[in-house]
């Protein structure tokens, strides 16, 4: 089965985050093993890694916002084209939510 675009994006986010964490852990190990005199170079490497992480997170944020906006636009278009079906879906969801709440309160 092929992955959906959302699932693929989620996997990419997890991979990027794990890569950043691994790089940070490696830098921390390096700092712990070095003396004070070499800490400046390691600090520069850490600053570069953090800048890279910030860039990746900004890119992920932009992609996520774009996907959310696209989904909202598609939903808006669907509701405008099919108002009665949308109301039906809302009624069913509200009814199910009421049923679940009622069952939960009845168990008490």
Total domains in the fold of the chain: 1
Q: Is residue 24 part of a domain?
A: yes
Q: Quote the domain boundaries for residue 48.
A: 5-81
DSSP 43-64: HHHHHHHHHHHHHHHHHHHHHH
CA distances from 58 to 49, 61, 86 (A): 14, 5, 34
Does the residue 69 lie in any domain?
yes
Residue 77 falls inside a structural domain: yes
d(CA 48, CA 7): 29
**What would the pLDDT profile of 32-42 be if each residue is shown by its tens digit?**
676 666 667 77
The pLDDT, as a whole number, for residue 72 is 92
- Rounded to whole angstroms, the Cα distance separating 64 from 69 reads 9
pLDDT digits (tens, 9 = 90+) for 91-104: 999 999 999 999 88
Q: What gap in Å lies between CA 77 and CA 83, rounded to an integer?
A: 10
Whole-model pTM: value is 0.50
Looking at residue 91, its pLDDT comes to 92
């Amino acid at each position: 089965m092929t992955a959906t675009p959302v699932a693929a994006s989620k996997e990419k986010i997890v991979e990027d985050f794990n890569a950043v964490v691994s790089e940070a852990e490696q830098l921390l190990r390096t700092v712990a093993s070095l003396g004070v005199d070499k800490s400046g170079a390691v600090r520069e490497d850490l600053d570069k890694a953090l800048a890279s992480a910030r860039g990746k997170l900004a890119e992920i944020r932009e992609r996520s916002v774009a996907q959310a906006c696209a989904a909202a636009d598609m939903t808006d278009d669907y509701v405008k084209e099919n108002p009665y079906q949308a109301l039906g879906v809302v009624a069913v969801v509200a009814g199910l939510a009421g049923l679940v709440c009622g069952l939960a309160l009845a168990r008490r």
